[in-house]
Every structure is written in C-alpha cells, then in structure tokens.
Amino acid sequence: MTDQQELWDEETAQRYDTPGEGMFSPAVLGPTVQFLSELAGGGAAVEFAIGTGRVAVPLSEAGVAVSGIELSHAMIRRLRTKVDHQTIPVVQGDMAEARIPGEFTLAYLVFNTIANLLTQEEQVRCFQNAARHLAPGGCFVIELWVPQLRSLPQGHKATVEVSQPGYLLVDTYDVLRQHVVSHHVQFEEDLSSRVARIGRTPHRYVWPSELDLMARLAGFHVEARWADWDRSEFTAESRSHVSVYRLNDR
C-alpha cells in the first residue's frame, strides 16, 4: 500500500462527504460547477483526483460528460455509491501518470490537490499529463491555496489556520523543501474529555509564479487567475486562487 493509499483510506472516504455543508454546500459548488461548465463549452471534462465526486457528480448532472483519475481505491468505492462507471468513468492511478481514453476540452484539479504531489518533478508531470488529455486549445484549471509564509512568526515553523469548537488545524512548514504538514485535530468541546482524533496530511506548496512556469514547460499559457470560482479579483492578499491555463496550439 502506498502512503497516499494509507492517507485516503476507507475511514477518510466515509468522513470526506458532508452533504450540503462545507465544501459540499451549494454556495461553494454552485459557482464551481458554473465556472467549469462554461469552460467545457459543450465538450468533455476530466477531473484529476476525482475523489468521491464532490465536483464531478454535480458537473455531470449539469450536462458535462465527466471522466476521472483517482489514486485511492476507497475514494472510488465511495464515488460508486453515487454514480456508475458508465455515467462517470474513472481510471485508478496517479494523476501525474494515468491516462483515461478520450480527448477533452477541459481538465481540472480542485481543492489544493496538486499539492498532494510532494516533488516539483511530479507536479510538472501532472501538467504534462493534463496536456496529453486535452485537445488543442483546451483548458487546465487548478484551484490552489497561496502559501501563508508571511504569517509564520519569527523563529517558529507552524501556524494555526483554523481554530473553532471541536476542530483545530495547525500547519507546520519545511521551507527548504516547500513542504507543509496539516495537522487536523478533532475533539469534544467538553473540557473533561481527553479523547481527540488527529490526522496529518503532507503537501508541497507552490507559489503561483512557480505554477505558471510548470504550465509553460508543458505547453500552456496563463489565461486567467481569480481569487475564487466567482471570478473575484486575485490580489496580494488572496489566500487562494483559481488559475486557468490554455494549451497552446500544436
């Protein structure tokens, strides 16, 4: 079993879906699906790291033919409780290498998932794989957070990203390797309880400018960058971005 298979196991797949809430809320998914539908332009789309189908299922219901690539067997099994293979075909494999048959007008990779690839080489190969899937002039869309190194206190290597009742998110940084580990702590609000669930996920953070260079190496150019799916302006204060890369004519 690979490290990623261990991270995205049956328990994680079961907890991942929060129907109607959080990342599954209409306020999040509505603009995302509309944005991707418009870019697909009536053509087919492929989602890298399709997961349990958070975006793919509503995008398919909106009339876009969606296929996917997913490494985790558990995530695919969870997806299959929602739609069958004929509705959304999925190839099991690494998004930097796996190939799904067909030619697509849109490839997309959402919710920071390119950072699950822990080396620059793997991330470059992911762009190259997207290019292999796309027709000339097709688009590759990436949603990714902006590294928050400015919030690191002097002499410290960690930031508290979320602090709310029952949940704490702490990120620890290795700035030499551009690695960050997210520590997810879930606990009972009752202070007498000593029980907590801790999960850890490693990432390789990427600056927007580095992402743009990866795109150029794979034959893309930057078409647009927004702060969110609602096309709000990307600024120096934005904590995430949605970037659209257009494949150059071959």
- Condensed to tens digits (0 to 9), the pLDDT of residues 81-93 reads 999 999 999 999 9
Give this prediction's pTM.
Answer: 0.89
- Furthest C-alpha separation in the chain: 64
- DSSP string covering 112-150: TGGGGS-SHHHHHHHHHHHHHHEEEEEEEEEEEEPP-GG
Rounded Cα gap, residues 217 and 215, in angstroms: 5
Q: Write down the pLDDT at residue 135.
A: 96
Rounded Cα gap, residues 144 and 154, in angstroms: 25
Rounded Cα gap, residues 177 and 27, in angstroms: 35
| E strand or H helix at 245 | strand 240-247
Asked if 82 and 68 count as a contact pair (C-beta separation under 8 A), the reply is: no
Q: Is residue 6 predicted with pLDDT exceeding 60? A: no
Two structure tokens written together for 83: 């739609």
Mean pLDDT of 17-26: 83
pLDDT in tens, 118-165: 999 999 999 999 999 999 999 999 999 998 888 887 778 888 888 888
**Domain 3-146+206-247 fold:** Rossmann fold (3.40.50)
Q: What percent of the chain has pLDDT over 90?
A: 70
Two structure tokens written together for 132: 């292999």
Mean pLDDT of 51-55: 95
Two structure tokens written together for 178: 């551009």
Asked if 98 and 92 count as a contact pair (C-beta separation under 8 A), the reply is: yes
Query: Domain-by-domain residue ranges, the chain?
Result: 3-146+206-247, 149-203
Helices 120-133, 208-217: inter-axial angle, 10-degree rounding? 50
Rounded Cα gap, residues 33 and 230, in angstroms: 11
